[in-house]
Structure formats: C-alpha cells, structure tokens
Chains A and B, each alone.
Chain A
Amino acid sequence: MMFRLPINELDGFFAKIAAGRRLYLPVDQNDGTSAFAEWSEGTKMSENLNTLRSAKSFFFPQVTNLCDFNVKDKEIEVIDNRADSEDFAVFGVRGCDARAFTILDKVFLVDPIDSYYATRREHGVIITLACTMPEEHCFCNVFGIDATSPEGDVTTWKTDSYLYLNANTEKGEAFIAGIKDILEECAADEVEAQRAKTKEIMAKLPFANVSTEYFEKNTLLDIFNSEKWEKLSEACIACGTCTFVCPTCQCYDIKDFDTGHGVKRYRTWDSCMYADFTKMAAANSRNSQMQRFRQRFMHKLVYFPDNNNGEFGCVGCGRCLTRCPISMNIVKVIKTFGEE
C-alpha cells in the first residue's frame, strides 16, 4: 500500500523517526562527496546519488570488538561483552546497497550465524530511496536490480512535491504503522511516472548492456586459468580501496590488541588485495598480485555465484570505478573477458 507525505514535511518525518531510534542518512561532506551520518535537528540530506563509502558498515563495521580476555599468570578469562544492537533506521539507501545487504546475509546469516552482524540486521530498518538521476558508472541493472524500485524494509520515492513510501517487509510495515499519523494513503501514479522516466535514462547508460554471459557459460577452471588476468592486474598497486568501498566485500581479519590491561580481540575489514592476506608461517597460497587480483574478481563473478544459485557478488554501484587509483575495475574485467 502506497503512502505519502508532502516534501516540505521531510524534516518532521525525520524527527519522528529519530524520536524512536537513531536515524542515519546521507549528508554532504566538505569535498563534494557524501557519507552516512546521524540525523539531528537541522541535518540536511545530501542530493548526491550515492555515498562515497557503501552502507555496509551499519551491519559490518570496519572494526568490531569480538570479545576481550584477561590473562593472568596461567589463567585466561574470556569476556563476552556483546550487547544487543540499539534500534536504528537508515534512510536513503540506494537499490545497489540494499541488494548488497542480501548478499552479505548469504555470508553472515548462514550457519553458523554471525551474531554481531545478525543483531545489527535485526535492529536496523532499511529505508531505501529510488534513483532518479543515475550516473555513468551505474550498472545495477546488469545484476537484475531495479533502482527505480529498490528493495529494503521500506521503499521511498522522492518527487518535487511528495515523499512516497511503501513497506516491503513486516519490519517495514511496523515502521509505517508507527508514523502513520503523518502519512496519507495514496495512488502510485506519480511514482510510476517517475519510474518510467528514470528507466528511460537507465536504458541509455554506457553500461546498460554489459553482459555477464561469459562468466555464466565458462567453467571455473577456464576462467581461472585465462591469460587475461596477467594484463588486467598489471598496474594494480595492491591497495584495498576497491574492497573497502565495495558494498559486498566482506573478508575480514581477526586480531588481538594488548591494551596493557587486557587483550581485545577485534575483527576488521581485510582485503584479498593485500600480500599478507593468505600468508602463513611457512607459505603463501597467493604469492603474486595477479593471483590476489584474480581472487577478488573470481570471488565476485565465479565463486560466489557457484555457491549461491548463480547470483553474482556485485551490485553494480560503480564505487570501484570511481575510486580505484589506477582505474581498473570490475566492468573492465567483465568486458575484457566478454570480448572473445
């Protein structure tokens, strides 16, 4: 069922959400980019298409404290300091990032469930916002994502005069029920008109017709053993930018930090692009940058789909396209393989 509220009441809408839980939304930064930040009275939402970093940190933060230890002589005390997440809502998530959550779910919510991720997921309401001005680096449609009607607990559409809302999940319906007094039921005409207009633009995007067929038709070993990886990875400087801005990259490291009065065990984002990612005391299974580069794209385009009914581990947000220091990215990889 479609609801709406006048666009000039957006601040009141945010205030109402924030009264019951923390509310995060994209906010402009001083460098022209935007980032998710907590809403407070006077916070203005960014008009940017997408945030520089993805929304994954709401559920999979860069650093998570797993547990603590007290070590005294020969004895160890394990301190489980996990707490339930607070309720929170994220507004303005785009279709690509929303799909990324369901990809992360397929890692963190399969047995054994990752409790740190799960509690945040359970307590977070995702309110997505339909795209109206896609950019040249967008290719979410390649992965079957409809940015004009994004997934999430609640989908919203912003027009010149209204914010339209539609609940997709039970959690979303409960959310709408909680703010119903400021909403009115309505028809979806204006939403449909907006969607049609956006779809026209999307059909003309430079990557609208990129095909992933090669990765569906060829075997894991044929793709893995291709000579093309050498050239593709040649200029890679082995930084972790692509993995850190990527909404679906979820590899992590576990490390201990001795604070001097106890040991904190935490996990952090890690990157398969780093040389020590697979380094053991005696050997390293991925010794060259080519191997590490190949791993990242094989994971997204072959391994993940193989294990998840063909679903690719990419959502086409284009962040790696805009952020890679040497401008090598997943579209170039897909196209290079598709060329033959």
Chain B
Amino acid sequence: MQEVIDTAKRLLSDGTVNRVAGWKAGEFPYDVTPAVFTTVEEIDNGFIYNDFCAPNLSKYLIKESHKEGKILVFLKPCDTYSFNQLLKEHRILRENVYIVGVPCTGKVDIGTVRAMGIKGITDMESDGENVTIHTLYGDKVVPKTETLGDKCRTCKSKKHVIYDELIGEDGEVNNDGARFELVEKLEKMTPDERFEFWRGELSKCIRCNACRNVCPACSCENCVFDNPGSGIQQRAATDSFEENMFHLIRSFHVAGRCTDCGECTRVCPQNIPLHLINRKYIKDINVFYGEYQAGEDVMSRAPLNAYTFTDCEPGIVYERGGNE
C-alpha cells in the first residue's frame, strides 16, 4: 500500500519521527516480521503493508517509546485498542509516539490457508476480495473471507480509537455480537462436555509462552510463571493439569484488560483457540457489569477495578447454572 510507505517516508524525512515501526517483507508474502526502520533506504528495502501484516505492534512500544526520540507506529483498528489499554496502564510514553492509523479489511492467516489442505505455498496475492495462492503444485483462488485468522473472522471494530493521523476513511465499531457465538456454543455445553473440550485443547500446550509474550496485556516485568519463588515456575506440565492452570491464571490476570486483539490465538504454535477464554470473560463482564470494551478509551475505570451498587452478587454464578 503505497500511501502507507509514502507516509512513513514523509514523517521520517521531515523529522516528525526518527524511527518507524512497521512490517518487513519476508521470504514469502505471509512471513512478515515487525521491524523498526530508521532510514528511507531501509523503508524502500522491505517495508510493506498488505493483507498479511497481522502482527499487532502496540506491545513493542513499551520498549520503543522509552527510547530517545519519537517513533512512528502504524496501527490497525484493533491494534489501537491495545495501544490505549497500554497507555491506561502507563506502559507507553504517549509523547514519544506518533500514531498513523491504517485501514484493515482483515488479515490472511497462513495457518488457516494451510488447514484448507493447500500445500507448498510459494506466493499469495490478495485483491481484497479473493486471494490467489500460488503453490508448488498449482494455483488456487480462495475468497479472502475464508482465509482470515480467528482474530479477523469476527472483527470487533474497524474504528481507530486513537491516532495522530489516519490513512483512508475510518470504519465503525462492530456490535453484532458475532464474536461471542463460539463462546455461547461453549456455554451451552454440559460442564463435562466443556471440560472435555478445554482438556482437549489445553493439553496440546507446550508451554512455549508465545501467547503470554505476545499479549499486550501481559506486560509485567517479571511474570509469576518466571518467578522461582512462586512454586509454579515450571518449564512444562509437571502433572497433566498444569498447562490448564497456566492459561486460566493468565486469562484471569488479563480479564478486564484484554482488548480481544486475538494475538494469543494467532501465535499459538499448537493452534489452541486461547482467545475464547478471554472472550468468555469479556462477555461475562458485559453481562454482569455493563458493556465494556477494554482499550476503547484511556480514562474510564475498568469494571473489575470499580465497585458500584449495581455490580452483580457472587450468587449470579449459582443462578446461571453453577449449581448443576
């Protein structure tokens, strides 16, 4: 997308910023890497923005915004929620960041494409409608909607909630509730079925920590799971249930702060739909404490940090079927 590249070069050249956080082209269309560019030459040499730039750059700003000078960052609508949330948690120095909002129509996920049984993918092009996939064994054209990753299949918002400059027209928040459909399906299961589902998924966990390390809400300088004094600093499951506890503890810690950016599921090497745990909490928070979207703004108090008389009683769990 030429406009994005031109904007990067302009802001770097006119001295607004001294670095640009963006995405660097890889060996294939799908293996883009987040990168910091410091010169126009570097930008010419591999900066890209296209339908494959899924990585959320917000978390990198924790480190980058504390460096000398201002950095330009390109944020997709959903990434701006993460940025806001980090701002709220005083993790990012706002004055050292220049945000350019970039439009997004959903990102193609290579895992999703591979799961279709398409092998040996050497090249992909997207025209926004369809994705043409070139492989060692012939070409295929697939509607783009079918190639989206979990995080994009039910997009929560096409609106940038924070920016200094915007490329293209801003979109709307999506309130159709589609992102909770799978959660509802899980809620309708019997406790045993649900337990089976999550055991099946979570037992695949290899404790690589990718979900934690990529998560913008996981910004603790020293994680409890890395603390030898905590008694839970294990490298792997010491009994068959530990990986469940890892994910449950982590999801509770980000509850109310998770913006539903979906990076956890995107990066999981074992394809565990981790975002569903977080979405369950988001849905419950909406029901128990009123509609709330973490990262929507910087000032409002999070429902789990603010007591009100209308907060639900703990007995709600019983009323909702906790007695079954």
Contacts and interface: CB of A to CB of B under 8 A. Distances in A.
Do A and B touch, yes or no (CB under 8 Å, in the complex)?
A: yes
Given A240-B208, A253-B235, A268-B236, A327 B120 contact: no
Given A134-B120, A238-B213, A53 B271 contact: no
Given A133-B137, A255-B235, A240 B122 contact: no
A274 B271 CA distance: 21
Query: Which among A207, A231, A234, A253 has the greatest number of chain B C-beta atoms within 10 A?
Result: A234
A231 B114 CA distance: 29
Interface stretch (B32-40, B74-82, B174-182, B244-252): B32-40
Contact of B269 (A234, A245, A253, A268): A245
Contacts of A335: 27
Please classify the interface of chain B as helix (H, G, I), strand (E, B), loop, or mixed, using the class held by over half of its residues. loop
Contact of A327 (B31, B60, B135, B210): B31
B271 A331 contact: no
A250 B31 CA distance: 26
B10 interface: no
Nearest to A57: B206
B270 interface: yes
Interface in B245-270: 266-267, 269-270
Given A133-B137, A136-B121, A331-B27, A268 B35 contact: no
A257 B120 contact: no
Interface string A176-215: 0000000000000000000000000100111100000000
B235 A136 contact: no
B244 to A, nearest CB: 15
B24 to A, nearest CB: 8
A53 B32 CA distance: 22
B209 A239 contact: yes
B23 to A, nearest CB: 10
Q: Which of B208, B209, B213, B267 has the most CB of A within 10 A?
A: B208
A323 B110 CA distance: 10
A113 interface: no
Nearest to B206: A244
B298 interface: no
A31 interface: yes
B209 A240 contact: yes
Given A52-B269, A326-B34, A136 B238 contact: no
User: Which of A33, A238, A322, A327 has the most CB atoms of chain B within a 10 A radius of its CB?
Assistant: A327
Interface string A121-151: 0000000000001111000000000000000
A266 interface: yes
Interface residues of B, number: 45
Contacts of B111: 31-32
14 contacts: A32-B111, A32-B116, A33-B271, A62-B206, A134-B120, A136-B122, A207-B27, A238-B209, A239-B209, A241-B210, A255-B234, A276-B228, A321-B31, A327-B32
Contacts of A266: 238
Interface residues of A, number: 52
B127 to A, nearest CB: 22
A328 interface: yes
A262 B118 CA distance: 50
Nearest to B121: A136
A133 B120 contact: yes
Given A240-B208, A244-B208, A32 B117 contact: yes
A269 B136 contact: no
A240 B207 CA distance: 8
A325 B210 contact: yes
A53 B207 CA distance: 13
Nearest to A335: B27
Interface in B129-147: 135-137
A171 interface: no
A237 B210 contact: yes
A32 B115 contact: yes
A279 to B, nearest CB: 9
B28 interface: yes
Given A135-B136, A239-B267, A325-B213, 5 more contacts: A31-B111, A33-B115, A235-B60, A325-B266, A327-B26
A204 B210 CA distance: 33
A275 B55 CA distance: 22
A321 B30 CA distance: 10
A339 B110 CA distance: 27
A259 to B, nearest CB: 9
B285 interface: no
Contacts of B228: 276
B235 A237 contact: no
Contacts of A53: 206
A142 to B, nearest CB: 14
| Ranked 7 nearest A-B pairs via Cβ | A32-B115, A325-B267, A327-B31, A268-B235, A239-B210, A31-B271, A268-B236
Contacts of A105: none
Nearest to B30: A327
B194 interface: no
Nearest to B116: A32
B208 A241 contact: yes
B33 A326 contact: yes
B214 interface: yes
Interface string B130-170: 00000111000000000000000000000000000000000
Contacts of B209: 238-240, 274
B34 A235 contact: yes
A21 interface: no
Interface string A220-249: 000000000001001101111101110000
B187 interface: no
A269 B235 contact: yes
B234 A268 contact: yes
A210 B115 CA distance: 27
B119 A63 contact: no
